[in-house]
Amino acid sequence: MRKKQIHQKNKKQPFLVRLFPDSPILRIIFAVTMVITAYVVIQNTYHFAQIQVQEYKLKKEREKLLQEKEDLEAQKEALNDPKMIEKKAREDLGLVKPGEVPYVK
């Protein structure tokens, strides 16, 4: 019966009082430690979220740059073709072969 009364008495007391019954200093230290821990966890979670957003943006930029690189490589290959070089020289620069008569569009 006595155990039951002690148990009920303990249940009515706050958690920190039951955890550290004889030391208010330890209760304060424990509470401060928990606040600091919560702050660090929240701060790290925020930084982690920022890093994830930055990673997503960088992946999108990388995909865009890879596509641009593929386009430029295809354009480079097309420009290495002698027929394409001749076409560009005639259209863009107005060059003509020896013996041809140039005309203006």
Chain mean pLDDT for the chain? 85
25 to 12, 22, 33, 34: CA distances (angstroms)? 21, 9, 12, 14
- Its sign, for the CA torsion 60, 66, 69, 73, is negative
Query: Is there a domain that residue 100 lies in?
Result: no
- 56-105 pLDDT, tens digit per residue, is 999 999 999 999 999 999 988 888 888 888 888 878 887 888 877 777 66
Number of domains in the chain: 1
The per-residue pLDDT for 105 is 65
For Cα atoms 55, 57, 61, give the angle at the middle one, nearest 5 degrees.
115
Query: Is there a domain that residue 37 lies in?
Result: yes
Query: Is there a domain that residue 68 lies in?
Result: yes
Query: Is there a domain that residue 69 lies in?
Result: yes
Residue 45 pLDDT > 60, yes or no?
Answer: yes
The per-residue pLDDT for 27 is 82
Q: What range does the domain containing 57 cover?
A: 2-93
Q: What is the mean pLDDT of residues 20-24?
A: 81
Query: Is there a domain that residue 104 lies in?
Result: no
Query: Is there a domain that residue 102 lies in?
Result: no
